[in-house]
Amino acid sequence: MRDVIQITTETLSLPSAEDRADAEAHWGNQNANDRYQTDWPCLNAVELLQPETAVAPPDTLTVAAWNIERCKWVEPSAELIKRTGADVVLATEVDLGMARSGQCHATSDLAASLCFGYAFGVEFVELGLGDANETIQCTGMTNLHGLHGNAILSRYPLYDVALIPLDAGGYWFVQAPKNDGQYRVGGRMAIAARIDTATGPLVLCSVHYESESDANGRASQTETLLHRLDALYGSVPAIIGGDLNTKGFFEAGTSGPQMLARPEPIEPSFAYFARNGFDWRTANTGEVTTRLQPTAPANSPLETLDWLFTRSVAAQAPFVAPALAESSDYLSDHELIGARFQL
């Protein structure tokens, strides 16, 4: 397991084209992946930019979690976030220098549109153009930097920022589990930070679990996440949100009310959350949180994969906002979820 990373920088040091070409030449070698994870600065720091205007959090705030599927459409995505009134966005699957998302720094551009600060950490250095559809769509193009990761976007200053690895890394470099051209250096991770409120510290965490894992694997990632969060921040009030890839619910035919009331037999990760003082019942609706991609077959399953968890903070009015622009154009294969939280 990789160590927690607490180094922050205003600008990540980006891997060169030569670095990525070398990694492509050594694809499939675990030792090579481990060496890149140790040596590449972009995998060993968090990019942190504070909001231009420091504002103290009010008694209540709206926190959203969104797997933004690369963030290919920055401005419409920012407009959706604004419509929800979110003060904090726990974002997953955001690109930096990828052809599929116009080579933009999605987190930075999104934060600028919202007048937020942000903390961005790299989950993977992408060696290809993306999944099978993205590879076809970007034929003949190259990635400028090839970074893909998770972020916290916030209108309030972020402190004690940490990148929390959830696995040893290398799964997508050594095995290429989907066999769809997604060759990657790195591993699954979470981004965490503290904001200071009138009632004390509040920890925020954006997390993305392994999509090709099973329920026991997700439970193991939860155990790692919670152990490392408590080691970093103690058992203070906290909000965790993100894409947990809880596919067991669909496979078991679990209804929304059943997910909220008793998820543990299907997804034992929820037992770990409960054991560590986290609740999900008032912060989530139990509704489907995925959306069909435009190229997906019409009979593709829709699932509940995205969740918010809260400890020592009261949640109310949970919602699921469709991942659509005001023009009804598609933005992501995951809906934006959120709730109001009483500090």
Domain membership flag for residue 3: no
Domain membership flag for residue 72: yes
Interatomic CA distance for residues 122 and 44, integer angstroms: 9
pLDDT score of 55 = 82
Domain of 332 in residue numbering reads as 8-342
Interatomic CA distance for residues 322 and 25, integer angstroms: 41
Q: Are 279 and 308 in contact (CB under 8 A)?
A: no
What letter represents residue 90's amino acid?
Answer: L
Q: Are 169 and 122 in contact (CB under 8 A)?
A: no
Domain membership flag for residue 204: yes
| The 3-state secondary structure of the chain, one letter per residue | CCCCECCEECCCCCCCHHHHHHHHHCCCCHHHHHHHHHHCHHHCCEEEECCCCCCCCCCEEEEEEEEEEECCCHHHHHHHHHHHCCCEEEEEEEEECCHHHCCCEHHHHHHHHHCCEEEEEEEEEECCCCCHHHHHHCCCCCCCCCEEEEEEEECCCCEEEEEEECCCCCHHHHCCCCCCCCCEEECCEEEEEEEEECCEEEEEEEEECCCCCCHHHHHHHHHHHHHHHHHHHCCCCEEEEEECCCCHHHHHCCCHHHHHHCCCCCCCHHHHHHHCCCECCCCCCCCCCECCCCCCCCCCCCCCCEEEEEECCEEEEEEEECCECCCCCECCCECEEEEEEEC
CA nearest neighbour of 100 among 76, 68, 133, 67? 133
Interatomic CA distance for residues 210 and 186, integer angstroms: 12
Q: How far is CA 16 from the centre of its chain?
A: 24
Q: What tokens does 333 get?
A: 């294969």
Domain membership flag for residue 327: yes
Task: Give the pairing of strands 147-154 and 117-126.
Answer: antiparallel
Total number of domains in the chain: 1
pLDDT score of 176 = 77
Helix crossing, 30-39 with 17-25: angle to 10°? 160
Task: Give the pairing of strands 200-208 and 189-197.
Answer: antiparallel
Sign of torsion over alpha carbons 22, 23, 28, 29: positive
Domain membership flag for residue 167: yes
Query: What pTM was computed for the model?
Result: 0.97
CA nearest neighbour of 334 among 286, 294, 301, 290? 290
CATH number at residue 68: 3.60.10.10
Domain membership flag for residue 1: no
pLDDT score of 143 = 96
pLDDT score of 251 = 95
Domain membership flag for residue 2: no
Q: Could you say which residues of the chain have pLDDT below 50?
A: none
HSE of 3 in the Cβ direction (CA atoms, 13 Å)? 6
Domain membership flag for residue 98: yes
Interatomic CA distance for residues 190 and 233, integer angstroms: 14
Give the pLDDT confidence of 235-288 residue by residue, as tens digits: 999 999 999 999 999 999 999 999 999 999 999 999 999 999 999 999 999 999
Interatomic CA distance for residues 107 and 134, integer angstroms: 20
